[in-house]
């Protein structure tokens, strides 16, 4: 069965970098892959780091369950 972790993480990033009428989102980082010590894919996990307008940091994780 196909896992859609890449697609879901991409859509989350797109949604967070879109219009923010409340001006709460300060910065949205890139989608980071879970890589092993030699740069190989370790798992399907993806993370996105987000800062709010007050500087508080959040980590969003997408992974196959």
- The yes-or-no verdict on residue 1 having pLDDT over 90 is no
Span 49-61, average pLDDT: 98
Give the chain's mean pLDDT: 95
Span 34-52, average pLDDT: 95
Span 8-28, average pLDDT: 96
Residue with tokens 């970098």: 17
Span 4-29, average pLDDT: 96
Per-residue confidence (pLDDT) for residue 36, from 0 to 100: 94
- The yes-or-no verdict on residue 7 having pLDDT over 90 is yes
- Alpha carbons 38 and 61: distance in angstroms, whole number: 22
Mark residue 39 as left, alpha or beta (left: phi above 0; alpha: psi -120 to 50; beta: remaining): left
């Amino acid at each position: 069965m196909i896992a859609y972790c890449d697609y879901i993480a991409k859509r989350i990033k797109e949604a967070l970098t879109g219009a923010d009428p409340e001006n709460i989102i300060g910065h949205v980082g890139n989608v980071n892959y879970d890589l092993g010590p030699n740069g190989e894919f370790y798992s399907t996990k993806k993370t996105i780091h987000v800062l709010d307008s007050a500087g508080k940091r959040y980590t969003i994780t997408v992974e196959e369950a």
